[in-house]
């Protein structure tokens, strides 16, 4: 299953792990060991599913929507900033590579190519989207704090709010540094 996820052009998944063991400081050449991202340190995941919005929702021309799903699995790990940190890192990654991510989707999906027609222009998302249960106030506040806005008058049939972010000019991340991911034995 993991192999098919990696090869599917319409989705992107990051596994959320606990931060590296304290006491190692901010080492920008961090070498990770097998223990750093072992299953015992995995606390959730964040996914991006790409789709073509083909006008069923009032859109005149087909456009690409990236739908985000975020999960921190255990209650004991929720409310500690892991979801926010993962979402910010994910937004930074996706928006920093928007053309590559969208381009891979369009090249790998015949339906997307047909719906979008001429794709010689720059590959971009029309919006990023998320669906959140109406009672999940913490998640609603998290996404709203990062520029996502509720769509529609109320929750959908399944009791979920859809939130969208159309201003994708910034990932809302300043002062970050990328740390190279290398494994050592």
Which of the pair, 144 or 120, is modelled with greater confidence? Answer: 144
Give Cβ neighbours of residue 14 (< 8 Å, ≥ 6 apart). 45, 46, 47, 86, 89, 90, 93
Domain residue ranges in the chain: 2-183
CATH architecture of residue range(s) 2-183: 3-Layer(aba) Sandwich (3.40)
pLDDT in tens, 147-185: 999 999 999 999 999 999 999 988 777 767 676 666 665
Structure tokens at 176: 């970050």
Classify the phi-psi angles of 117: left when phi > 0, otherwise alpha if psi is within -120 to 50, otherwise beta. left
How large is the C-alpha radius of gyration of the chain?
18
Q: How confident is the model at residue 1 (pLDDT cuts 50, 70, 90)?
A: very low
pLDDT band at 58 (very low <50, low <70, confident <90, very high): low
Q: Report the pLDDT averaged over residues 106-113.
A: 84
Q: Which residues contact 178 (CB under 8 A, 6 or more apart)?
A: none
The model's pLDDT over 4-38, given as tens digits with 9 standing for 90+, comes to 445 677 899 999 998 876 555 555 566 677 777 78
For the ranges 93-107, 119-133, 141-155, 169-183, the lowest mean pLDDT is seen at: 169-183
pLDDT at 47: 97
Q: Which residue has the higher pLDDT, 183 or 98?
A: 98
Interatomic CA distance for residues 140 and 157, integer angstroms: 18
Q: How confident is the model at residue 2 (pLDDT cuts 50, 70, 90)?
A: very low
pLDDT of residue 59: 54
Average predicted confidence (pLDDT) for the chain: 84
Residue 37, Cβ density class (10 Å: 0-12 exposed, 13-18 middle, ≥19 buried): middle
Cα dihedral: 6, 12, 16, 20 (round 10): 70
Average pLDDT, stretch 55-80?
86
Burial 52-71 (b: 16+ CB within 10 A, else e): bbeeeeeeeebbbbbbbebe
User: How much is the average pLDDT of 111-115?
Assistant: 80
């Amino acid at each position: 299953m993991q192999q098919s996820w990696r090869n599917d052009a319409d989705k992107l998944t990051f596994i959320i792990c606990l931060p590296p063991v304290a006491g190692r400081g901010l080492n920008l050449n961090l070498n990770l060991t097998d223990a750093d991202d072992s299953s015992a340190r995995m606390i959730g995941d964040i996914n991006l599913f790409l789709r073509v919005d083909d006008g069923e929702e009032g859109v005149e021309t087909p456009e690409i929507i990236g739908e985000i799903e975020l999960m921190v699995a255990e209650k004991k790990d929720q409310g500690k900033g892991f979801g926010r940190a993962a979402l910010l890192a994910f937004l930074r990654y996706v928006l920093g590579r928007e053309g590559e991510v969208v381009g891979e989707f369009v090249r790998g999906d015949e339906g997307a190519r047909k719906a979008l027609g001429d794709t010689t222009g720059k590959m971009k998302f029309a919006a990023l989207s998320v669906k959140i249960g109406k009672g999940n106030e913490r998640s609603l506040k998290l996404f709203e704090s990062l520029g996502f806005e509720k769509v529609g008058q109320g929750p959908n049939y399944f009791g979920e709010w859809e939130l969208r972010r159309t201003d994708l000019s910034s990932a809302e991340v300043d002062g970050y540094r990328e740390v190279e991911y290398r494994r050592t034995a």
